[in-house]
């Protein structure tokens, strides 16, 4: 079976549209995601698409950051959504629900912990405050 990816606009329609007022062209998102949730359908969710979804939710739709992260966390847990490092993404999204972090910082922190890294080449003191040693860039 060929792999298929899901795009940001599909995720956003599912997360922000009202089923009672959605444009008929897009109403298939509800059955699509119901199948993904049950694992009846499989699709790849690329990290960059997830990050863009978070950005659009928090900036354009003004969804509070913790709420956007929680919505995406529920989505990522769908049986039919495949991600290479789903555990890292879930840890990142969990962090965003409780910490005031940038999504990339949260991802880097989660990724570093998952891979046993304790240091990073960075000038970002937020990473240092969260336990990563900042390595000198020279």
pLDDT digits 0-9 by tens, 90-130: 999 999 999 999 999 999 999 999 999 999 999 999 999 99
Q: Is residue 1 part of a domain?
A: no
User: How far is CA 33 from each of CA 52, 70, 121, 128, rounded to the nearest angstrom?
Assistant: 18, 16, 39, 38
Q: What is the pLDDT of residue 3?
A: 82
Q: Is residue 2 part of a domain?
A: no
User: How far is CA 23 from each of CA 36, 47, 57, 62, 73, rounded to the nearest angstrom?
Assistant: 21, 27, 19, 21, 26
Q: Is residue 3 part of a domain?
A: no
Structurally, how many domains does the chain consist of? 1
Contact, 65 vs 58, CB < 8 A? yes
Contact, 103 vs 96, CB < 8 A? yes
* β-bridge pairing 119-121 and 133-135: parallel
Mean per-residue pLDDT, 31-58: 97
**Residue 77 pLDDT class (50, 70, 90 cuts):** very high
- 3-class secondary-structure state, position 49: helix
Q: What is the pLDDT of residue 62?
A: 97
pLDDT per residue over 1-36, tens digit each?
A: 688 999 999 999 999 998 889 999 999 999 999 999
Contact, 99 vs 107, CB < 8 A? no
Measured over the CA atoms of residue 119, residue 120, residue 126 and residue 130, the dihedral's sign is negative
Domain range for 87: 8-135
Q: Which two tokens stand for residue 85?
A: 């490092």
Q: Is residue 113 part of a domain?
A: yes
Residue 57 has pLDDT above 80, yes or no: yes
- 93: CB partners within 8 A, 6+ apart: 69, 70, 72, 73, 76, 106
Q: What is the pLDDT of residue 1?
A: 66
């Amino acid at each position: 079976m060929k792999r298929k990816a899901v795009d940001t606009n599909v995720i956003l329609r599912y997360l922000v549209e009202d089923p009672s007022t959605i444009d008929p062209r897009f109403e298939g998102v509800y059955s699509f995601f119901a199948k993904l949730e049950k694992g009846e359908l499989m699709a790849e969710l690329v990290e960059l698409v997830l990050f863009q979804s978070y950005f659009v939710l928090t900036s354009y739709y003004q969804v509070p950051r913790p709420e956007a992260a929680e919505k995406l966390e529920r989505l990522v847990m769908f049986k039919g959504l495949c991600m290479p490092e789903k555990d890292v993404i879930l840890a990142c999204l969990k962090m965003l629900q409780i910490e005031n972090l940038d999504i990339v910082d949260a991802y880097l922190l989660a990724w570093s912990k998952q891979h046993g890294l304790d240091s990073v080449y960075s000038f970002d003191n937020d990473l240092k405050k969260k336990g990563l040693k900042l390595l000198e860039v020279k």
